[in-house]
Each structure stands twice: as structure tokens, then as C-alpha cells.
Amino acid sequence: MSGHIVPRRIYYGIFAALMTLTLLTVWVAFQDVDTHLWGVHIALNPVIALAIATTKALLVVLYFMHVRYSSKLTKVTVLAGFFWLGILLVMTMGDYISREWIKLPGN
Amino acid sequence: MSHSPEAASHPALQHHFDSMEQQHGATTLGMWLFLVQEIMFFGGLFTVYFVYRLKYFTAFAAGSNTLDIRWGAINTAILIGSSLTMALAVHAAQTGRRKLLVLFLGFTMLLGAGFLGVKAAEYHEKFESHHVPGPAFHLDSHDKRFQGVDASNVQLFFSLYFAMTGMHALHMVIGLGILSVLLVKSWKGRFSPEYNSPVELTGLYWHFVDIVWIYLFPLLYLVDRYHHY
């Protein structure tokens, strides 16, 4: 018994989407997408780059890695993995970003 | 669930499983559990990267701007292409086409080797430019990209660059080793529509390594490009 057989045209479609997104991420890196929000200067380039990378990763996980067609147990396992990665990144960065906000003695 | 006697008595069925379905489900879950710990392993490297990028942004931007986007983009395309051929290899295994399976595994290995070749050329350029962290590390003081940045922080960027791309490349080398074993087994006709879990699980590993690069490319090559040009 083997896993779900994904039609080849889906693989070709995902490949085309991944290539297009790669070109898009290179192009957008050279564009001026900085913005100002309530007087705060915000560089949007890294945000867009990470959003594109996450879209690409999602396409790979769902279609190339068959998670869309997998059992609920596999889906929960994959989701738990990325959720834990999220905890690591969000809590660590939340700490480092907010350290500058309050001036404490010796800081 | 009912199983056909043929499937239950497949020679590839290990004695501790009741059926090929159960064996496939268990091995898929096992592979994903391995990949989840790989996510945490690379996650640690990415976290270090984000913390220091926040702290020394200008130095990271200067270091990133010494990397050649063309090579990075070409390698991204090569790796995405190898993921396509890997997916097509899995399809060939599932539909029992032995020659196509051998062919696509071969293509995947060629593209993987091409990626490592480009990486080697990039590393070579970094050694020549004295951008490799260590006693020989040196930044050209006339280069205006390095004006006003602390060299030790640029060195930190390159330490992370070599640690992350090096660990990624190591995974590629291991992947190539696994693929060469699969290539021989495929040639001998060991895989069939009934039994192809090794091909599918190697595919999962290969695609995971692709995902790591999908994040490495923008994070290492595309830092603050707009303000530097």
C-alpha cells in the first residue's frame, strides 16, 4: 500500500508557482516598500520576504509532501512541529524587541 | 479494515505490522516525527540569526550585500527543480514505472550535486575575499559597503552564513547518499505500487531540505538590498 497518488499536473503547477514566487521575492527586495505608521518608520521588505517564503513552504508541505492528502494524525504532528517553532521564535523575539521599550537601571 | 491476502503477505511487510497500510502509516508518522525535530534543530539556528540581525542590522545588511544574488537565486531554482523531480520520482514509484523512477532519482541527484557545486564556488569566493570568520577575516576598508559598521559584527553574520548554509549542505550530502541507495534498489526493481515507502519518505526529507533553503535564501541574500543600491 502506498500513499495518495497526486496527479502530476499538480506537481507542475506547484513548481511554476514556486519559481514565480522566487522571482517575485528577488524583485521586491529592490523595491521601496518602506512605510510610516503613526510616525514610526517600518521597513516592510523583510516582512514581505518572509511572507513569500512561508507561502512557498506551505505549497511544498501541502502538495510535494502530501500533507493535504495525509491522515489527521500526520497533520496534527506537522502542525505541532511548526507551532513549537512559533513558540521559540515569538517568545524569544518578543523578549529581545521589547527590552528597549522600558529603560531599567543597568540596561 | 479488510486487507487482501496478497497485500498482507508482501515480502516487504515487516513481521511487527499487520498490513502494508499499517506499515506505511507508521513509517510516514515516524518520518514526520524525525522532520519535526529537524524543524527544531534548524529553528535554533534561525532564532540565533533573528536575535543578532535585530541587534546588528547594519552589519548584517553589509555582510548580506557581499553575497551574489544571482548564485543564490539560481541555487533556489535548482533546488525547487530537484523537488519537482523528486515528487515525480515518487509518482513513478507509486504507479510502478521503474525506468521513470530511476530517471527522476538520477535527475534529482544531478540537481542536488549542481546545487552543492554552486555552493562550493560561492564558498571559494568567500575564502578569496577573506570573508570567512577566523584569524584571516578581513574587510576592505575602502569598500563603502563597510563604512561605519563594526567588522566583528559582520564576522558574526558570516559565522551564521557558514553555519546555516553548511548545515543545509550537509543535509544535501546525506540526501544524496540516501538517493544513491534508492537508485540502486530502484534499478533492481525493489519498489512497486504496493511497496514504495522508502521513496516517498526520502521525498519528505528532500522537500524538507528544500524548505530550509526557501527561508535561507531571503534571510541571507536579500537583507536591505533596496537601501544599498
In this prediction, the residues of chain A whose per-residue pLDDT falls under 50 are 1
Are both A57 and A81 inside the same structural domain?
no
In terms of domains, do A60 and A78 share one?
A: no
Tell me the β-bridge partners of A42.
A35
List phi, psi (to 5°) of B197. -55, -40
Overall number of domains in chain B: 1
Domain-embedded: residue B160: yes
What does the alpha-carbon distance between residue B121 and residue B80 come to, in Å, rounded to a whole number? 20
- A66 and A39 in a single domain? The answer is yes
H-helix segments, B95-196: 98-128, 151-187
CATH number, domain of B48, equals: 1.20.120.80
Residue B10: inside a domain, yes or no? no
Tell me the average pLDDT across B109-123: 98
- Domain assignment present for residue B5? The answer is no
Residue A4: phi, psi to the nearest 5?
-60, 135
Interface touch B77/A19, C-beta < 8 Å? yes
| Cβ within 8 Å, pair A89-B210 | no
For residue A12, give the chain B residue with the closest CA: B84
Nearest to B209 by CA among B119, B128, B121: B119
The B residues from 122 to 141 touching A (CB cutoff 8 Å) are none
Chain mean position to CA B134: 26
Q: Taking chain A, what is the end-to-end CA distance rounded to the nearest angstrom?
A: 61
**Domain with A11 in it:** 1-70
On average, the pLDDT of chain B sits at: 93
Instruction: Give dist(CA A88, CA B16) in Å, integer.
Output: 37
- Provide the residue range defining the domain that includes B28: 17-228
Q: Are A28 and A48 in contact (CB under 8 A)?
A: yes
Other CB atoms within 10 Å distance of the CB of residue B117: 12
Are A51 and A83 members of one domain?
no
- pTM metric for this prediction: 0.92
Contact status of B95 with chain A (Cβ, < 8 Å): yes
Query: Is B24 part of the contact surface with chain A (CB cutoff 8 Å)?
Result: yes
A79 and A47 within one domain: no
Indicate whether A3 and A43 sit together in one domain.
Answer: yes
Same domain, A52 and A66: yes
Burial letters B156-167, b for 16+ CB under 10 A, else e: bbbbbbbebbee
* Average pLDDT over every residue of B93-108: 97
Chain A CB within 8 Å of residue B36 CB: yes
Whether B91 and A5 lie within 8 Å, measured CB to CB: yes
Angle at which helices B20-55 and A72-98 pack, to 10 degrees? 10
Q: How many structural domains does chain A have?
A: 2
pLDDT tens-digit readout, B141-164: 888 888 888 999 999 999 999 999
The per-residue pLDDT for B143 is 82
Interchain contact, B225 vs A45, CB within 8 Å: yes
Q: What is the ipTM of this complex?
A: 0.91
Same-domain status, A58 and A96? no
Q: What is the pLDDT of residues B70-92, one digit of tens each?
A: 999 999 999 999 999 999 999 99
Of B171, B209, B214, B208, the residue nearest A61 (C-alpha):
B208
Does any CB of chain A come closer than 8 Å to the CB of residue B84?
Answer: yes
| B224 with A43: Cβ contact below 8 A | yes
